[in-house]
Amino acid sequence: MASIQQVKSPLRGVNLGGWLVLEPWITPDLFKGIDARDEYDFCKQANQTVLRQFRDTFVQEDDFAWLAQQGIQAVRLPVGYWLFGDYPPFDATVGYVDKAFRWAAKYNLKILLDVHAVPGSQNGKVHSGRIGAVQWPHDQHLSQTMALLEQLADRYGDESALLGISLLNEPAPHISAAMLKAFYKQAYELIRKRCGKSVWVVFSDGFKPRKWRKQLPVRDYPGLYIDTHHYQIYTWYDKLLPAQLQLWRARHMLPSKLARIAKHHPLVVGEWSVALPAGRSVAGDKYALAQQQAFASSAAWFYWTYKTQYGGPWSFRHLVARNLIA
């Protein structure tokens, strides 16, 4: 029987959020002067030249060099289903993904390709490309998503910098586990046929890791990793806890929670942050260290996000400049 491979230490990573899948809160100035809530609206209203100038400058080769200098080993690269240019009004981004792979190879970084937005939207949130109804669980959209995964695997499967492919970011809680399981199984088989055995296939727990304990067992799906996202900012419980209990929670509750997940599947912490609810703040360096220590049972972790326009706790680059994360 196959067993879960134990990692000596997790890969250290960051997300390249807000670059190839726009989020107004990450780059608010890009959205000034237009009435756009998401990338779909932006592409309908804004000049494509403006968008391409932004993407040309927001992440460049120098950023990959800087990340390598900081000891970062991998980047999680969110992409939208429009990256090949076949879903107007969205603008193609495949050229930037190609550049990212060249830069990653040059600076010895790995890339986890993250399908962050899928046709029909998997959660109706801004990071799915279009705010609104969750229509992804329809046959047409599922077929389009599989076709996208096939294109990604065929184009990047032999890239030396490819760490893995993350199949779906944060599906909505009401999408059934059975439907997700069927999708994950089909997607896993597709990736395995087109990529080497060393390429990770990563599936989202949808913020419900317990539901996956007995699903997709590692003996049947070698190289399949579960992706969990850890934030202590959004729920009523997060907002209720005083600052010091937030730190205690990260130090004493998070390690056991993640270890339980890692008992059943190799674990990726695809997103985390030192951001806390308004009025709750602890020393950023202590909070960051507590979480990083808790991630010891994971195969990799990725900070959300690499940078934001105005810095702050969501910006890895901002935190490094202020010695609040290492």
Residue 35 burial (10 A CB sphere; 0-12, 13-18, 19+): exposed
For residues 315 and 309, give the distance between their C-alpha atoms in angstroms, rounded to a whole number.
9
For residues 238 and 232, give the distance between their C-alpha atoms in angstroms, rounded to a whole number.
5
User: Contact, 277 vs 318, CB < 8 A?
Assistant: no
Strand extents, DSSP E, 118-230: 162-166, 200-204, 224-230
For residues 233 and 44, give the distance between their C-alpha atoms in angstroms, rounded to a whole number.
32
> Two tokens at 28?
């608010």
Beta bridge partners of 229: 271
Half-sphere exposure of 235 (CA within 13 A, CB side): 8
Instruction: Provide the annotated active-site residues.
Output: 170, 271
Beta bridge partners of 166: 114, 202
